[in-house]
Amino acid sequence: MKVLVESVSFAYGQGPVLSGVSVELPDGGITVLIGPSGSGKSTLLQLLAGLLHPTAGRILFDGEDVTGVPTERRDVGVVFQSYALFPHLSVRENIAFGLKTGRRRFSLRSSRRRPSRHSLEARVWDAAALLGLERLLDRRPGQLSGGEQQRVALARAVAPRPGLLLLDEPLSALDARLRRSLRAELASLLRKLGTTVFYVTHDQEEAMLLADHLVVLHEGRVEQAGPPLDLYRRPATPFVASFLGEASLVEVSAEGVGTPLGKLASPGRPCRGWVLVRPEDVTQDPAGAVATVVDARGLGPHDRVVLALENGAEVLAHFPPESAPEPGSRVRIGLRSRKPHFLENTD
């Protein structure tokens, strides 16, 4: 299913939550929406689910306007943060719940009927097998681990084979260790489904791992959208640069090539703004700029080092533990590339 959100706005009372948001969800792809708390992420998901209705704009599923269509007539499956499993029902019964309600997929041409008992059981088994839940079908949610409950909630959402699967921070209720271990598994499962996925999270690492298409939301507006590595390497705004991973922004002089890190390749036109410096971009260079080590902390595979340049600007670097400088020492640093990414100041 191809999903298009066109100039959608939403407000609670007098306060705007979303302002003119336009997003395209590629058919069969995983679109991840990321942003800080209060940016409107869950609101946009609820608009797609039909749980809320926009104050302006429209939403299209495969070219059909579903803006005013109720939730039960939309071809969607939803997994919330809490999973919302029925504690008195078995895993089998929880998965079957969405099928037993007899909901139809939304289509102006659809006349689907409630599945027969045989096909219902087959659909439950297929969903359980996809999520590796076959041996747990007769257990109840209270007998499952957090990761197993998450998979049951996902199986229940995909059993009706929706055209659009909506996930609202489905790993946030898990502890950090379990969340990390489930990310790769969840990414594999979602791609195996082949359905269109809209995934909401505030976790940058999770977003980069899962997304085919990444959307950054800030204060109710889309800051940037595109392939995740494009947003990481070529952010359009300082907010995107600082929100996706660690970043230092080094000021650029008026002619566009002079920086405290030395002369760098021009962006092709005079500009004033910043050079994006990721920690992995910084290297120790005998011919580079002088910097003082403000702080250095070991993080296992690398040391996180904060460096102060002679003009007072600070740069974050990752160095191998065996070559990381000590706090208080002075080093010379440069960038691995002489053609870094420039962010222009348009104010």
Are residues 332 and 285 in contact, defined by beta-carbon separation less than 8 angstroms? Answer: yes
Q: How confident is the model at residue 67 (pLDDT cuts 50, 70, 90)?
A: very high
Distance between CA atoms of 153 and 227, rounded to whole angstroms? 28
Q: What is the predicted pLDDT for the residue at 111? A: 34
**Cβ atoms within 10 Å of 243's Cβ, excluding its own:** 21
For residues 9 and 219, give the distance between their C-alpha atoms in angstroms, rounded to a whole number.
12
Bridge partner list, 31: 198, 213
**Which amino acid is residue 80, in one-letter code?**
F
Under the banding of pLDDT at 50, 70 and 90, the label for residue 341 is confident
pLDDT beyond 70 at 300: yes
pLDDT in tens, 135-161: 999 999 999 988 888 889 889 988 888
CA–CA dist 185, 174 (Å, integer): 14
Phi and psi at residue 91, to the nearest 5°: -55, -45
Strand stretches in 233-281, DSSP E = 248-252, 258-259, 262-263, 273-277
pLDDT score of 15 more than 70: yes
H-helix or E-strand containing 338?
Answer: none
Task: Dig out the tokens for 280 from the structure.
Answer: 């992995």
- What mean pLDDT, rounded, does the chain reach? 86
Q: How confident is the model at residue 256, as a pLDDT? A: 46
The pLDDT of 47-75, averaged and rounded, is: 94
Mean pLDDT, residues 231-249: 94
Instruction: Please tell me which residue, 178 or 245, carries the higher pLDDT value.
Output: 245
| Measured distance CA(41)–CA(199) in Å, rounded | 10
Question: pLDDT tens across 184-235, in order?
Answer: 878 888 888 889 999 999 889 899 999 999 999 999 999 999 999 999 999 9
* pLDDT (mean) for 53-65: 96
pLDDT at res. 50: 95
- Confidence at residue 108, expressed as pLDDT on a 0 to 100 scale: 32
Q: What is the pLDDT of residue 138?
A: 94
Mean pLDDT over residues 261-273, rounded? 65
* Under 8 Å between Cβ of 252 and 273: yes
Q: Is the pLDDT of residue 182 over 50?
A: yes
Q: Do 275 and 289 contact (CB within 8 A), yes or no?
A: no
How confident is the model over 8-18, as a mean pLDDT?
89
Tell me the average pLDDT across 71-89. Answer: 88
Q: What is the value of pTM for the model shown? A: 0.86
- Compute the average pLDDT of residues 259-271: 63
Q: Are strands 342-344 and 273-277 parallel, antiparallel or unpaired?
A: antiparallel
Q: Is the pLDDT of residue 27 over 60?
A: yes
pLDDT digits (tens, 9 = 90+) for 85-126: 899 999 999 999 877 654 444 333 333 445 566 678 888 888
CB neighbour burial string for 84-95, b if at least 16 within 10 angstroms, e if fewer: ebeeeebbbbbb
Joined together, the tokens standing for residue 6 give 């066109």
Sheet holding 76-79, edge to edge: 76-79, 164-168, 196-201, 30-34, 213-218, 221-226
Q: Are strands 213-218 and 221-226 parallel, antiparallel or unpaired?
A: antiparallel
Residue written as token pair 């089998």: 92
DSSP alpha helix (H) spans, the chain: 41-49, 91-100, 117-130, 146-158, 176-193, 204-210, 228-233, 238-243
Asked if residue 322 lies in contact with residue 335, where contact means CB atoms within 8 angstroms, the answer is no
